Amino acid sequence: MYSIEISYIIASQKPRELAEFYSNVSDTSISEGISSTHFVISKSHEFKIQIYCPSKNRLFLHRGMNTAVCFHRKSNLDLLEVLTEWSESLILLGAKVLEVPKLESFGAEAWMLDPDLNPFLIIVSHI
């Protein structure tokens, strides 16, 4: 069995500054994330805000995708395969693929749309 973490993500061209803003708003400290441009603000284990700078290999996200819910699983299996299977199971529940699953430096990710066409992100990374 696996566990899924749920967080809120915000894409930013200035992730450190935005993380400092939300840290001050929530009176919470900032933790470093999975890269030098990724920061996590966590008031409890149940709620996290992740702020990151999108990959240099893509245009900055469309306005509707700058903020989204993120679902994150960890696995010791093939990350892209696990993510593809997960996205296929979500499609059966009514989700649509917005961007096909792909491998990134931190793991595998796929942008999807919920049944109301709201974007959300799923990520699988190594344990």
Report the percent of the chain where pLDDT is more than 90. 54
Q: What is the pLDDT of residue 2?
A: 77
Taking the C-alpha atoms of residue 84 and residue 110, their distance in angstroms, rounded to an integer, is: 8
pLDDT tens, position by position, 24-69: 978 888 999 988 999 999 877 778 899 988 876 655 555 556 788 8
Q: What is the pLDDT of residue 39?
A: 96
pLDDT tens, position by position, 74-115: 999 999 999 999 999 999 999 999 999 999 999 999 999 998
Domain locations in the chain as residue ranges: 4-126
For residues 90 and 69, is the Cβ–Cβ distance under 8 A? no
Q: Which residues make Cβ contacts (< 8 Å) with residue 120, sequence separation at least 6?
A: 68, 69, 70, 71, 111, 112, 113, 114
For residues 36 and 19, is the Cβ–Cβ distance under 8 A? no
Residue 96 tokens, joined: 């649509």
Residue 116's pLDDT band (cuts 50, 70, 90): confident
Q: Which residues make Cβ contacts (< 8 Å) with residue 12, sequence separation at least 6?
A: 18, 51, 52, 53, 66
Asked if the 4-126 domain carries CATH number 3.10.180.10, the reply is yes
Q: What is the pLDDT of residue 123?
A: 95
